[in-house]
Amino acid sequence: MQKKLHIKVGDTVKVLSGEARGREGKILAIDKKNDRATVEGLKMIKRHTKPSASNPQGGIEEKEGTIHISNLMVVANGEATRVGRKLNDAGKLVRYSKKSGEEIK
């Protein structure tokens, strides 16, 4: 059975704790097994790469690290909010903002 998460790829999220606290970014990828998400432009890490056919120069690459999903909160209409689930008019389960009550797309 798959886990139901409060975030999805493409959501804008706010970081609640850690080095990037208070900053916002867009979710690029989610690792459901480890409950971690990659957020665009946050928690940058450096990787030393050996020269290869695709990257003949090698060198140091900078890319986004992962953040635990418990430290992320969805941003809807410009403000961070908790997320709930309810049935819409069509009978489909959708996420909604607990602050405003509006559906999260």
Q: What is the pLDDT of residues 48-82, one digit of tens each?
A: 999 999 889 999 999 999 999 999 999 998 899 99
Q: What is the pLDDT of residues 1-30, one digit of tens each?
A: 777 889 999 999 999 998 889 999 999 999
Query: How is residue 3 written in tokens?
Result: 């886990």
DSSP 103: B
The answer for residues whose C-beta is within 8 angstroms of residue 99's C-beta and 6 or more apart is 76, 79, 81, 82
3-state secondary structure 55-90: CCCCEEEEEECEEEHHHEEEEECCEEECEEEEECCC
